[in-house]
């Protein structure tokens, strides 16, 4: 997959170029519908489908203190895009100049760099440009004048509820992993770097990898049956999320995973942790021995049958 960091780099992409534009946090089924449409449009004309997104999340630029927790880190988003068959990904920096750009200026910039611009695919409710003045109707008017197609993709629903990043965040926060799984078409997962921990798991006889999850939406504290993806390999695992009350705790939430049948060093690696099933809530045990006995039961519950 080719990744572009500046808009001018799209000049090298064989046209006509069909853009799927959005934030794509989590790459849920609504986002997937946009990508599939752009890919189909490009295939009809022998053009190139390009997914365009922005970093940081615009809400982090405008409302840093109130910015939502993310469903996918930038690295994880790229991985998810590649799994969707995306071959060209534009990750544009969202800076003050981009925030100040009008909707018309943005479209004209796309027309200059895409040779030619074949089409734009966005969510039906998408807004863009200074003051959020650009929408699908605006794009259609620009397209009619400048010769590009516009697809406004309707929202995808499950259980009568619109799939959105906001709805998924709320579902994950309350522990509704089934809704998240349906919304993504896959188990909810986070990706982060394995960082140095206190090695308490190793001292208990169950070594764990501590995952950096800063800024990511996590489910409620507890123990989960998980799958951990390391490169091209995956492992069944037990994940513990919480403050580890039985041990000496800093009070900070920690995600740590014990990989079954794994040998090796994960420090510094990006790993993906899928939350498959809630096993139990986090609790304070009367002794370390009681905790160790419970860990044995937790591991046994996720062993292949």
Domain 187-302: top CATH class: mainly beta
The torsion angles phi and psi of 218, rounded to 5 degrees, stand at -120, 155
How close are the terminal C-alpha atoms of the chain, in Å? 37
pLDDT of 202 reads 54
pLDDT of 115 reads 92
pLDDT of 268 reads 93
**What's the predicted TM-score (pTM) here?**
0.91
Q: Which residue, chain included where needed, has tokens 């630029």?
A: 61
3-class secondary structure, 96: helix
- Mean pLDDT by 10-residue block, N- to C-terminus, for the chain (305 residues)? 96 97 96 97 97 86 76 96 97 91 96 97 94 95 97 92 94 97 97 80 69 95 96 93 70 88 90 96 74 80 70
pLDDT of 243 reads 83
CATH for the 2-158 domain, from 3.40.50.1970, 3.40.50.300, 3.40.50.620, 3.90.1150.10: 3.40.50.620
In DSSP terms, 114 is beta-bridged to none
Task: Domain ranges for the chain, please list them.
Answer: 2-158, 187-302
pLDDT of 250 reads 60
pLDDT of 247 reads 64
User: Helix 165-174 crosses helix 177-184 at what angle (to 10 degrees)?
Assistant: 150
Residues 6+ away with beta carbon under 8 Å from 270:
75, 191, 192, 193
| CA-CA-CA-CA dihedral for 158, 188, 58, 91, to nearest 10 | -110
Quickly list H helices, the chain. 29-45, 58-62, 74-83, 96-100, 103-113, 136-146, 165-174, 177-184, 200-203, 288-302
């Amino acid at each position: 997959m080719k990744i572009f960091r500046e808009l001018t780099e799209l000049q090298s992409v064989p046209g006509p170029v069909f853009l799927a534009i959005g934030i794509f946090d989590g790459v849920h089924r609504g986002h997937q519908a946009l990508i599939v449409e752009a890919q189909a449009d490009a295939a009809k004309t022998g053009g190139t489908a390009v997914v365009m997104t922005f970093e940081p999340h615009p809400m982090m630029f405008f409302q840093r203190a109130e910015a939502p927790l993310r469903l996918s880190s930038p690295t994880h988003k790229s991985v998810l895009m590649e799994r969707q068959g995306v071959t060209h990904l534009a990750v544009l920096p969202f800076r003050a100049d981009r925030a100040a750009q009008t909707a018309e200026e943005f479209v004209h910039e796309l027309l200059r760099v895409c040779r030619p611009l074949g089409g734009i695919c966005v969510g039906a409710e998408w807004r863009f440009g200074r003051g959020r003045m650009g929408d699908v109707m605006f794009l259609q008017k620009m397209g009619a004048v400048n010769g590009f197609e516009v697809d406004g993709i309707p929202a995808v629903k499950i259980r009568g509820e619109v799939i959105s990043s906001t709805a998924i965040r709320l579902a994950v926060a309350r522990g509704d992993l089934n809704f998240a799984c349906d919304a993504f078409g896959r188990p909810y997962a986070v990706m982060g770097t394995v960082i140095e921990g206190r090695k308490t798991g190793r001292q208990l006889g169950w070594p764990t990898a501590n995952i950096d999850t800063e800024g990511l939406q996590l489910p409620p504290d507890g123990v989960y049956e998980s799958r951990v993806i390391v490169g091209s390999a995956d492992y069944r695992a037990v994940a513990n999320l919480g403050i580890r009350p039985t041990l000496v705790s800093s009070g900070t939430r920690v995600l740590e995973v014990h990989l079954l049948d794994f040998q090796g060093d994960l420090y510094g690696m990006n790993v993906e942790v899928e939350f498959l099933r809630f096993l139990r809530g986090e609790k304070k045990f009367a002794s370390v021995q009681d905790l160790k006995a419970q860990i044995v039961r937790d591991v046994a519950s996720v062993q292949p049958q």
